[in-house]
Amino acid sequence: MANDNATGNAPAPRRYHRTVADGLRLQVTHYAPAADTGDRRPVVCLAGLTRNGRDFEVLANALAHGAEPRHVYAIDMRGRGGSDFDPDWRRYTIAAETGDTIDVMTAEQLDHVAIIGTSRGGLIAMALMAAQPTRAAAIALNDIGPVIEIEGLARIAGYVGKLPKPDTWPEAVALCKQMAQRDFPNVTDEEWAAIARQWFNEEDGTPTSAYDPAIAQTFAVSADGIPELWPQFEAVTPVPVLSIRGARSDLLSAETVARMAERHPRLTTHTVPDEGHAPLLRDQNTISVIGKWLAATD
């Protein structure tokens, strides 16, 4: 696994809030390069269902402070990370979160960006492209596609809002490892400690949930799963797309990736060995693939 690529001279990421249309405050983390970015397009990172912008910390530092630096923005969706919880759980929807993303990008004056969307973040990227096609000029979909496997959906439904609350950080690390080690067998104990800090918030020195448990009320899985999303995928076909898949993924199949490649002439694929849903975007090879793909799409 890769370590943070940032140097000691690199500026620390800046965390602040933007207010969206319905008054909620969303946390944005901006990784600003110390060097000139030239004409390299900025990157907007969107995390998965129960996750937040901290998932992109290693990747974002590498992109912002590497040999070809670029601005990176990671957005915590409503009810996640450092953003406000929504008093009405019915608004935890892809439509609302797409609107939130547009609001933040408007506030930051971001157009023609590259979006890296993990799982639900990738679905938001598709919806955003359908709504405002010029907002993004390249899309990376991390372990998500038009066909979402019911096995993976059922697994996610089994833990959302149901995990025990750890009382200490060692307990939080052990819980993360217990929950995900099967899909991420090569993660070291040191990295599990770092990942626990991504997956949990901290309050008064102890870990606390990094997402609103009410999100679980929006996540029901029927026996038939969810409809195939090929019309939504069509929204991203005008721009280059990078499909990242974990070799152990139970949410995105290799067959779906092959079908995506048939329908998209500018689809690049990358499989992360020995990782499940969703690839952590921490290993040096995947970071290198993303960096080269971004440079090619600039």
Q: Would you state the pLDDT for residue 7?
A: 47
Asked if residue 191 has pLDDT above 70, the reply is yes
Q: Would you state the pLDDT for residue 247?
A: 98
Segment 78-91, tens digit of pLDDT: 999 999 999 999 99
Segment 197-246, tens digit of pLDDT: 999 999 999 999 999 999 998 876 555 668 999 999 999 999 999 999 99
Report the 10 Å Cβ neighbour count for 21: 10
Environment class of residue 258 by beta-carbon count within 10 Å: exposed (0-12), middle (13-18) or buried (19+)?
Answer: exposed
Asked if residue 117 has pLDDT above 80, the reply is yes
Q: Would you state the pLDDT for residue 123?
A: 97
Report the 10 Å Cβ neighbour count for 70: 26
CA distance 97 to 105: 12
Q: Tell me the pLDDT of the chain averaged across its residues.
A: 94
CA distance 33 to 12: 10
Segment 62-72, tens digit of pLDDT: 999 999 999 99
Confidence class of residue 51 from pLDDT cuts 50, 70 and 90?
very high
User: Nearest 5°: CA angle at 209, between 158 and 176?
Assistant: 60
Q: Would you state the pLDDT for residue 3?
A: 41
Share of the chain above pLDDT 70, in %: 95
CA distance 280 to 150: 21
Which residues fall within 8 angstroms of residue 52, CB to CB, at 6 or more apart? 27, 74, 76, 77, 80, 81, 82, 83, 198, 210, 211
CA distance 67 to 69: 6
Confidence class of residue 4 from pLDDT cuts 50, 70 and 90?
very low
When pLDDT is averaged across residues 89-109 and rounded to a whole number, the result is: 97
Asked if residue 1 has pLDDT above 60, the reply is no
